[in-house]
Amino acid sequence: MHPIQFAQSKPDHPAVIMAGSGETVTYGELDKAANRIVHWLRGQGLGDGDAFGVLMENNAYYHKLFWAMQRAGMVMVPISTHLTAAEILYILDDSDAHLIISTRKFDGILEVIKEERSDLGMLVFGGEGELDAEAAFASQSADAPVDQSVGRLMLYSSGTTGRPKGILPAPPEDPDVQAANPLMGLATMGFAVDGDGSCVYLSPAPLYHAAPLAWSTVIHRLGGTVVVMEKFDAENALAAIEKYKITASQWVPTHFVRMLKLPEETRAKYDLSSLKSAIHAAAPCPSDIKKEMIEWWGPVIYEYYAGSEGNGMTAVNSADWMTHQGTVGRAILGTVHICGDDGEELPVGEEGGVFFESPYPFQYHKDEAKTKEATHTKGWTTLGDIGKLDEDGFLYLTDRRTNMIISGGVNIYPQEVENLLITHDKVMDAAVIGAPCPEMGEKVVAVIQPVSMDIAGDELEAELAEYLSGELARLKMPKLFDFRAELPREANGKLYKRKLKEEFLAKARESA
């Protein structure tokens, strides 16, 4: 099953619908557009293994570029729209991209890129002259290209703790561009996604992230319709589920929090009964938040834990989660090992580094040191998380090792504090970090986004401190509350804690 087949069997069936505008791309149109893009790329001299960057907001072009890459044997590098010009240039250079494809929304950044990399090819949707992407692709034949070969995505980590890391998977063993994808079986057999072409899937997150692009393209392999939100909005997401009769969807915990913070009357006015599968991942979900979602949406919530590295995966359905609250599931790809700092495997129930033993090792592009750091002496690999296993084989994540705070020689995991803060009805978002402290080494700082900045201040700080004091040991309590209108959070739910830590480090240096 592949979009190429559906372009023949049901050319008028919607492949992509933009949730806000209603703009629709049929399977027939998707196939022709992908063919034209392949012909143009080859005409520019790009061949197997050559990379091109994509810097775009969610739009109807994104999947056309993906399916072109997938049959052209090239490497597509999706780029976060939140990065600076310097960060984007780093990714373009690191990935050896020959070309960047973008939109007019990024004119300012593109000007900087042109100044720094005059040798880099560039196309812009909405552009003029030689930069006009629509005109460039429209000039090409819609016939299927000859000598098709399987392309690959090169994804970059969010860079929440430093420079983003490029992850380029090995070439597929099956050279057939229409060969089955393992995620197809997982979607239909593990996550209750309809495999008969009737699935209507909502994608609320940016397509430059691994999960939204991977899952939406799996839906295309199954012949379903992908409804793409231009930008996430809590109420608009509920409205889209009702309007398009969404059957499957993929979320991050931040989406859940935003929807749960809506007034009860707003939440109640939308018909969500079409939902069969609501998959979430990418960041830890506080147990109370997930329990509320299951109570609201029913047992349609599925969770998995994995990374762009593709080295392993765990998964759990609603029923198993309710009997193992807080888990991210049991391994469905690879075997989980929990190891201490010395590399030795730990007993059940003890916390340590989470490693996957699997047939899919990975390498970070041009970075042997980072690859070595993530690899156990036995060949197992880690995403950098800390967790534990229970007697039933369910994995529980504690936090990322890089987020750990060491205060007075005691290890403190911010996720525990964050999970409590986010359940407070006056907190929209929270980040807990370690800031420099001359006495303790580090002190716990809670950076809070209240539901309204009008309530930020001493009174709310006292209320939050009292709220936490009954749940946390004294050493884990925040020594400072800092209120912000917004936190530096990626749309995939990941916090850029690095930016917050750097800010507090700079303040400490100034006052020293």
Residues 448-475 have pLDDT tens digits of 999 999 999 999 999 999 999 988 888 8
Question: CATH class for domain 325-401?
Answer: mainly beta
* Secondary structure percentages of the chain, helix, strand, coil, to 5: 35, 25, 40
Of the chain, the percentage scoring pLDDT greater than 70 comes to: 99
Question: What gap in Å lies between CA 315 and CA 303, rounded to an integer?
Answer: 6
Question: What gap in Å lies between CA 312 and CA 306, rounded to an integer?
Answer: 6
DSSP assigned state of 169: P
CB atoms within 10 A of CB 141: 12
At 137 the pLDDT is: 98
| CA dihedral over 261, 237, 54, 128, signed as positive or negative | negative
Confidence band of 174 (pLDDT split at 50, 70, 90): confident
Question: What gap in Å lies between CA 465 and CA 70, rounded to an integer?
Answer: 52
At 158 the pLDDT is: 64
Tell me phi and psi for residue 149, to 5 degrees: -145, 155
Question: What gap in Å lies between CA 324 and CA 331, rounded to an integer?
Answer: 14
At 508 the pLDDT is: 84
Give the tokens for residue 196.
């008969």
At 474 the pLDDT is: 87
CB atoms within 10 A of CB 268: 10
For 193, the 3-state DSSP assignment is coil
- The answer to whether 84 and 163 have CB atoms below 8 angstroms apart is no
At 175 the pLDDT is: 87
The domain segmentation of the chain, as residue ranges, is: 27-170, 180-305, 325-401, 404-511
Sheet holding 427-437, edge to edge: 427-437, 441-450, 480-483
Is the domain covering 27-170 a CATH 3.90.180.10 domain? no
Q: How much is the average pLDDT of 248-275?
A: 95
Sheet holding 395-400, edge to edge: 335-339, 352-357, 381-389, 395-400
Q: How much is the average pLDDT of 153-157?
A: 90
At 408 the pLDDT is: 76
Q: What's the predicted TM-score (pTM) here?
A: 0.88
Half-sphere exposure of 332 (CA within 13 A, CB side): 19
Residue 315 forms beta bridges with which residues?
304, 330
* Average pLDDT in the chain: 93
DSSP assigned state of 334: S
pLDDT surpassing 60 at residue 160: no
Give the tokens for residue 144.
């299927």
Give the tokens for residue 7.
């372009």
At 512 the pLDDT is: 62
Q: How much is the average pLDDT of 68-83?
A: 94
Q: How much is the average pLDDT of 43-57?
A: 96
Q: How much is the average pLDDT of 403-426?
A: 88
At 169 the pLDDT is: 81
Residue 302 forms beta bridges with which residues?
279
For strands 14-18 and 24-26, give the pairing: antiparallel
For 310, the 3-state DSSP assignment is coil
Question: Where would I find the H helices in 340-457?
Answer: 368-373, 414-421
- The answer to whether 200 and 244 have CB atoms below 8 angstroms apart is yes
Write the CA distances from 476 to 353, 399, 416, 482, integer angstroms.
Answer: 21, 14, 9, 16
pLDDT surpassing 70 at residue 212: yes
Question: CATH class for domain 180-305?
Answer: alpha beta
Question: What gap in Å lies between CA 284 and CA 494, rounded to an integer?
Answer: 9
Q: How much is the average pLDDT of 410-423?
A: 90
Total length of the chain:
512
Q: Virtual CA dihedral for 221, 226, 230, 231, nearest 10 degrees? A: -90
At 30 the pLDDT is: 98
Count Cβ neighbours within 10 Å for each residue of 36-56 and write b for 16 or more, e otherwise.
bbbbbbbeeebeeebbbbbbb
pLDDT digits (tens, 9 = 90+) for 116-134: 999 999 999 999 999 999 9
Asked if 27-170 and 325-401 have one fold, the answer is no
Confidence band of 162 (pLDDT split at 50, 70, 90): low
Which distant-in-sequence residues (6+ apart) come within 8 Å of 318 by Cβ?
294, 298, 299, 300, 301, 302
Q: How much is the average pLDDT of 249-271?
A: 95
Question: What gap in Å lies between CA 216 and CA 150, rounded to an integer?
Answer: 18
Among 220-224, 352-356, 359-363, 387-391, the minimum mean pLDDT is found in: 359-363
Is the domain covering 404-511 a CATH 3.40.50.10790 domain? no
At 497 the pLDDT is: 85
| CA dihedral over 118, 123, 125, 131, signed as positive or negative | positive
DSSP assigned state of 49: T
| Burial (Cβ within 10 Å: 0-12, 13-18, ≥19) of residue 111 | exposed
Residue type (1 letter), 239: A
Question: What gap in Å lies between CA 396 and CA 314, rounded to an integer?
Answer: 10
